[in-house]
């Protein structure tokens, strides 16, 4: 599901994303893959600009957070 940054929708989106990663665990074998996929679902609202900034930061530093830490941000 896409996420637009609405706080009331965050937990549902996190649960949905985690489920997607769990049932596709042979595809999403690293936090880097999971982070990029999660960012790709942030297409609207405040989440869109936030995800663009994070994607640039992660690419420039070639460093990706653990998914738990990513969700905390």
pLDDT digits (tens, 9 = 90+) for 16-65: 999 999 999 999 999 999 999 999 999 999 999 999 999 999 988 888 88
Tokens, residue 15: 């649960």
Contact 23, 68 (CB under 8 A): no
pTM, two decimals, is 0.86
Question: In angstroms, rounded to a whole number, what is the distance separating the alpha carbons of residues 67 and 10?
Answer: 14
Contact 29, 64 (CB under 8 A): no
CA of 29: how far to CAs of 3, 32, 43, in Å? 22, 9, 23
């Amino acid at each position: 599901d896409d996420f637009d940054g609405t706080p009331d929708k965050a937990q549902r989106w996190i649960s949905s994303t985690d489920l997607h990663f769990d049932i596709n665990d042979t595809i999403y074998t690293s936090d880097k893959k999971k982070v990029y996929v999660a960012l790709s679902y942030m297409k609207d609202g405040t989440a869109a600009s936030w995800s663009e900034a994070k994607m640039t930061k992660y690419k420039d530093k070639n460093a990706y957070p653990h998914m738990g830490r990513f969700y905390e941000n």
